[in-house]
Amino acid sequence: MNLKTLTVIGLACTLLISCEMDLDMNEPGNLVPKTVTEDPSLPSLSLNGTSLHAQTYGNPANAMVIFLHGGPGADYRNGLNVRQLADDGYYVVFYDQRGTGLSQRHDKNTYSIQLYLDDLTAVIEHYRTSTNQKVFLFGHSWGAMLAAAYINAYPDRIDGAIFAEAGGFNKQLLDEYGEASRKLNLFSEITNDVLYYDQFLTGRENEHEILDYKLAIASSFSYAEGNDEGIEGASPFWRNGAGVLQAFMDISENEGFYFTTNLNQYQTKVLFLYGENNKSYGLSFAQKEASFFPSSEIVQIADTGHEMIYFKWDSVHPAVLGYLNSLN
Amino acid sequence: MKKIKPLLFIAMFFCFCQQGMPQTVNWNALEDSKHIITAGIGWDFSVSFSLGYAYQLKTNTPILLTSNFSIPSGEKLLDDFKTKIGGQVVFWNRSHLKGSITLNGIYRRFENPLVQLKNFGSELKGVLGFYKPKWFVAAEVGFDKAIVSDFTHSDTFKGTIFTTVKDGWYKPSSGGNFMYGLQTGYSSKQSDLTLNIGMVMTQDFKTTPLVPYYLMFGYNLRLH
């Protein structure tokens, strides 16, 4: 066998091997997990023109607690400690909001606050087993903002609410929280950890796999050493929703939002939680948000930050359970 | 001191290996310079520092063989970097008006607590400008295409995000960015001070990187 033949065989083998090794980044299940529309084995429900990843715990006849995860664009995985409330006599409902987690993806321009409220209405209707079944909302971060938006729109539908560090009930408060919690040091490693890959990892507007993946690998920014939100480390999530995050950022910038106009009509006592180590939130921010309601209680969760539900559930649980039991 | 030693090592490595690249040159000040050593600082998807080397071929049409190495700032020195090897050729050559094309092969590395990425890409850039021996100003348009990328995820990623994520080489392209802007500079006997400034947008012309700008201050030392 001469050198020319060997070279041809070598090149052919190299080509074959390299082709076999190539992975497609737009293929669900490679860089990001499949959603409910791609993996029918995932627990899901279809409503309001979408398919949501959802799970429930406890007796469906018990008072319902709906957990609303953060983001926009995060998922409920790091809130799963809340399922302990099922052992306390509550029917606990989790769902990944439209366009994020393992729920169905949609075009960016289809998302709106009202659509998210309609989804929540549909979730309540889907799981409610009787008309007198009580419904409580437990929101974390963006989920707490969404809970406020829902109560603001429908004050008579909800029997109580827990707000764990809502990022701001209106645009002004959101900006205030954002400025305090997302400071960038241009010369730090943390900054290039989330910016440098933009030069070779880009995605078109609705290329959900690559955009969600980019957001996932930026998540280390939130728990970098010395972060202002007092986040102890990485907490689990399935998959971010970059499209819905961008859509809501655009809505916030272009239209603003006010989830506060009717909150003073909500007479039921609400519970606010904040982490002792979150320098961007603290008692003063909790008081600002609580002041929109006629009746509220504020509880500090010691020795933790923004991800209190994951890292300090043992401290969060008694406060939440005491509040729920007082209304149930 | 801990960080200076590696920097010195890099500088020496590139001097000896004759790599580096002046992306921005004053074609009317080059004359018969053979070697061009460059240094730069600016914003290139992060605060970046670069070193480069270029060799001018003895041809009727000005041609430079170029290479460049850059790192972003940060506490970890070599977890992220970018290397370019390629060339620049003047395709339209009037006494003061010149057009040039730059073609580079790119290799870059990125690492954060969740993933290590390696990427091979290419860059094509066109420059059209007015050049005098002491100064120049030109418009530039470029496209940086990511061709193939290798993904290796950390235990943290696999433990907290996606256990069965697939590591390996990914195609098709993981993306691309267009850039457009201006370059200008002042030249003295053996030196050029240069400035590149412009905007970046992704290949779909709808989205931009988180920081959609670039800015680079450069220094060229021309040697015979």
Task: List A residues 4-33 in contact with B (Cβ-Cβ < 8 A).
Answer: 18, 21-26, 29-33
Candidate from A22, A195, A234 with C-beta closest to B170 = A22
pLDDT in tens, A4-60: 565 555 555 444 445 455 888 888 999 999 999 999 999 999 999 999 999 999 999
Under a CB-based contact definition with an 8 Å cutoff, are residues B23 and B106 in contact? no
Per residue of chain A (328 residues), what is the pLDDT tens digit? 454 565 555 555 444 445 455 888 888 999 999 999 999 999 999 999 999 999 999 999 999 999 999 999 999 999 999 999 999 999 999 999 999 999 999 999 999 999 999 999 999 999 999 999 999 999 999 999 999 999 999 999 999 999 999 999 999 999 988 887 777 777 888 888 888 998 888 888 888 999 999 999 999 988 988 899 999 999 999 999 999 999 999 999 999 999 999 999 999 999 999 999 999 999 999 999 999 999 999 999 999 999 999 999 999 999 999 999 999 8
| A195·B47 Cβ contact <8 A | no
ipTM: 0.87
- Looking at chain A, the whole-number percentage of residues with pLDDT higher than 70 is 94
CA dihedral sign, ordered A187, A191, A193, A195: negative
| B207·A205 Cβ contact <8 A | yes
Mean pLDDT of chain A: 92
Segment holding A188, helix H or strand E: none
Candidate from B45, B165, B166 with C-beta closest to A195 = B45
Mutation site, B174, B199, B200, B206, interface A, largest A CB count within 10 A: B174
Chain B residues with CB under 8 Å of A203 CB are 175, 202, 207
- pLDDT, residue A17, reads 45
Task: Kindly state whether A250 is in contact with chain B, defined as any CB-CB distance less than 8 angstroms.
Answer: no
> What are the residue ranges of helices labelled H in A30-129?
113-127
Q: Is B30 left (phi over 0), alpha (psi -120 to 50) or beta?
A: alpha
Nearest CA in chain A to B157: A217
β-pair partners for A115: none
CA distance B18 to B9: 14
pLDDT in tens, B25-62: 999 888 888 999 999 999 988 899 999 999 999 888 88
CA distance A275 to A165: 8
pLDDT in tens, A224-258: 888 999 999 999 999 999 999 999 999 999 999 99
| A201·B162 Cβ contact <8 A | no
> ∠ CA A23-A26-A30 to the nearest 5 degrees?
50
CA distance B124 to A316: 55
Segment holding B40, helix H or strand E: strand B35-44
